[in-house]
Structure 1
Amino acid sequence: MTDVWDAHYADGNTFSPLSDTERALLAEHAPVPEGGGRALDVGCGTGELARCLAELGYVVDAVDFAPAALARAEAQPGAVAYHLLDIERGSLDVLSAAYDLITFRLSWAFVHDRTRVMNRLRERLRPGGAVCVITPVAEGVADGKRSIALDDDELGVLCAGWGSAERYDVGGLAFVVLRDPVTGPVVCGGKKRPTPHALTGAGVVVTDTAGRVLLGWSVRGVWELPGGKNEPGEGFLEAGVRELAEETGLRTEPGGARLLALLMDSTHGIPRLTGAVRVDAFSGEPAVTEPQLVNRWEWHEVADLPTLPQPLFTPSAHVIDTVWPGLLPGLPPVHRYPVAVDCPSDTA
């Protein structure tokens, strides 16, 4: 990319000249502080804006990553210190520790890591200082030039995090003045309502005092462990404990349940994620509490599971194989992500 811009300037090309309206807005909204001030022009090109700032009375640093641009800038008269610098990848040590004004003219749209770059530069902004971004707006450029401009959403991101953000329109350009950087804890938010994409649930291995495992004969014609889908906001361990109580009437003792692993497979083209839950302590006797789902509950000898004459629900088989690895050979593929056994809960 540097070579492209270097060739652009080496061929004698430039960009739209600084207008009288821009000059007037700079003088009005970014005057030199009493006693003098220092300015930084980022992406200075051939230095027109940097020289304007010097004429206003600023001590000016100007940076660009194209050597040909700086060669042309330095050939013009003006009290500006030019620096060859890639503002995204280079060291900022060549810059002053503090500025009263930082400007981007026709360059901000080309910055890739905008948030990071702005954070590092505004750390060098003196109290009361300003950042001025002059940029084409998307609605004012041809479709083929969209990459040189900002749309309303991008301008909104630019203005976020500032106590004051003023925008002026100058012949198809947005002239944005930012002051008083503010910081605070990040706020979490959602996007639009998502399209349902996956199934999530828990399967529970619970054994009696003789080491037999509880399975239910489902109305769908398979043996399955207690368990079911997560409720909104519910973790896998919580879902397993709740489903065990709802489906069988069994209640876990405090600390009597552990999340062993997360298992990922798919069914009918839909990703499926199952939490393998192990219950070590419970109270009550199994009972059919949801006859619309399960016909009966039975305690099974673990050694009998490899030769069950009826089908075993695939997620239940994967959970059983997590507790007793290798017990059920030839299972369908699954991605298994073990959870540390000393974690009492999967909730934060």
Structure 2
Amino acid sequence: MAHLTPEEWDAHYASGGRFRSLGGAERRLLAAHAPAPADGRALDVGCGLGELARHLAGCGYRVDAVDRSAVALAEARRADGPGVTYRRLDIERDDLGGLPRSCYDLITVRLVWAFVRDRTRVLHRLRERLRPGGALCVITPVADAVPASRRDIALDEEEIGLLCAGWESAERYDADGLAVLVLRGPSPAPPGSAGKGRPSPHALTGAGVVVTDRAGRVLLGWSVRGVWELPGGKNDPGEDFGAAAVRELEEETSLKADPAGARVLAILMDSVDGMPRLTAAVRVTDFTGEPVVTEPRLVRRWEWHEVSDLPVLGRPLFTPSAHVLDTVWPGLLPGLPPVHRYPVADG
């Protein structure tokens, strides 16, 4: 039943559909926690047939009652009482500037919050309509208290927690199995970020480093895997590509470079064994030291190569290294496997 269109709501009311009548416990809680101030104004959202709106008017409020169903509003007007103005308005889709007043002492949302799809956005717009000291009162079935087949009309504890977040005061009461939430003092929390738990491994990320000496020759290592490759490797957690490139360069060759001088030229994306692989093409021209084999289990030797010799090495290049070299010297290495290349402006 949740997220019905206005036409479906019209059909619901036209066929005799009704909601639970306003109970004595709800009336007592409203009187205790949201009494009408002098010249009090109330907005009843999703008023349906107008029972709550007429009750609030009887308690001293002047009430604007809104609903998206023309059929429900027509029946509500037939039972009209003093102090209530009815208006057709879709709280999710219509401009709230169409409300008769800019702010209210009390906003009520009874039995309909579960039917609102964009709850966070609507909640922010309703907060903006509260006068200082005003209250938003949401009355809702609770998921644990309704049959499984009716969970779509109720809120679970997580949704209630979301609704109550960002208020100076959030009080919860029970009204014969309904949760009555009285929310005061909008106090939205500053934006933050959070994870969703430990992710499953999805991709490889790392950097390939193009290092050239003063003669313009590029450094390659002859790998124990039978390929030529650039210095480089995977990022450590929290490490950016430039820092990873400089760290791997020193760990693999003993050459030292300043991370501030490592330029990320592009991000390359291909795949290996069905796994996405991201490689940063990093350029380093300023370094100290001489290349030394520090990890013989991985690389047998390091050599400086003329760039013009790269297409005729006689042995293959490691694919990510080839893509990085092709980023620095486009078109030098024909026939490479496909790769997605995303140039970095600063590079």
In which range does the TM-score fall when normalised by the shorter chain? over 0.9
Structure 2 SS opposite 1:282: coil
Matched, 1:161 2:162: no
Query: Structure 1 residue 256: deviation in Å?
Result: 2.6
Tell me, yes or no, if structure 1 residue 88 matches structure 2 residue 92: yes
Does the residue aligned with 2:58 lie in a helix, a strand or coil? Answer: helix
Q: Do residues 215 (structure 1) and 234 (structure 2) align?
A: no
The equivalent of 1:50 in structure 2 is 53
- Of 36, 40, 45, 1:37 maps to 40
Which stretch of the first structure deviates more once superposed, 288-297 or 150-159? 288-297
Q: Confirm or deny that 1:59 pairs with 2:51.
A: no
Aligned partner of 1:272 in structure 2 is 277
Cα deviation, residue 112, structure 1:
1.4
Give percent identity, aligned residues only: 69
CA deviation after TM superposition for structure 1 residue 180, in Å: 1.3
8 Å contact from structure 2 (residues 246, 258) kept in 1 = no
Helix, strand or coil for the counterpart of 1:4?
helix
How far did residue 173 of structure 1 move? 1.7
**CA-atom RMSD, angstroms?**
1.4
Letter in 2 for 1:267: V
Cα deviation 1:270-319 (Å, max 9, x = unaligned):
11111110112222111112222211111112222222222211111111
- Contact 1:201–1:239 under 8 Å retained in 2: yes
Whole-angstrom CA distance in 1 between matches of 2:259 and 2:206: 21
CA distance in 2, matches of 1:69, 1:303: 80
Identify the match of residue 330 of structure 1 among 324, 332, 335.
Answer: 335
Is the contact between residue 46 and residue 72 of structure 1 (CA under 8 Å) also seen in structure 2?
A: yes
Q: Does the 8 Å CA contact 1:203/1:227 hold for their aligned counterparts?
A: yes
**Counterparts of 1:238 and 1:298, CA distance in 2:** 23
Q: Which residue of 2 aligns with 1:74?
A: 77
Structure 2: gaps of 5 or more residues: none
The one-letter amino acid paired with 1:56 is C
- Deviation, 1:170, is 2.4
1:242 to 221, 241, 247: 247
**Deviation string for 1:241-296 (max 9, x for gaps)?**
11111111112247432001111111111111111101122221111122222111
Aligned to 1:16: 20
* Whole-angstrom CA distance in 1 between matches of 2:223 and 2:164: 57
Q: How far apart are 1:220 and its partner, in Å?
A: 2.1
Structure 1 residues 123, 110: CA separation in 2 closer, same or farther (over 3 Å shift)?
Answer: same
In structure 1, C-alpha distance between the alignment counterparts of 2:260 and 2:239, rounded to whole Å:
17
Map 1:164-179 → 2, pairs under 5 A: 164-179=169-184
Report the alpha carbon displacement of residue 239 of structure 1 after superposing the two structures with TM: 0.7
Deviations 1:170-228 (A, max 9, x none): 23321111111113421222221111211111111111122111111122222111111
Number of residue pairs aligned between Structure 1 and Structure 2: 341
One-letter code of the match for 2:56? L
**1:261 paired residue among 263, 266, 271:** 266
CA distance in 1, matches of 2:185, 2:120: 16
Could you give the per-residue CA deviations for residues 112-166 of structure 1, whole angstroms, max 9, x where no partner exists? 1111111111111111111111111111222232221111111110000011111
SS of equivalent to 1:71: helix
- Listed as ranges, the gaps of 5+ residues in structure 1 are 343-348
In the aligned structure 2, how far is the partner of 1:264 from the partner of 1:217?
Answer: 24
Off by >3 Å, runs of 4+ in structure 1: none
2:143 to 132, 138, 143: 138
Q: Is the 8 A contact 2:114 2:155 kept in 1?
A: yes
Q: Call closer, same or farther: CA 1:165–1:72 in 2, change over 3 Å.
A: same
Give the alignment partner of residue 320 of structure 2, picking from 315, 319, 323.
315
Contact 2:246–2:259, Cα closer than 8 Å, also in 1: no
Question: 3-state SS of the aligned residue for 2:18?
Answer: coil
Give the TM-score of the pair, scaled to structure 1. Answer: 0.94
**Secondary structure at 1:41's aligned position in 2?**
strand
1:346 alignment partner in structure 2: none
Distance in 1 (CA, whole Å) between partners of 2:165 and 2:11 is 35
Separation (CA, whole Å) in 2 of partners of 1:139 and 1:307: 71
Alignment CA distance shift 1:145-1:308 (3 Å): farther
Given the superposition, is the C-alpha separation of residues 254 and 26 from structure 1 closer, same or farther in structure 2, using an over 3 Å criterion? closer
**Contact 2:243 2:259 (8 Å CA) reproduced:** no
Q: Which amino acid aligns with 2:241?
A: F
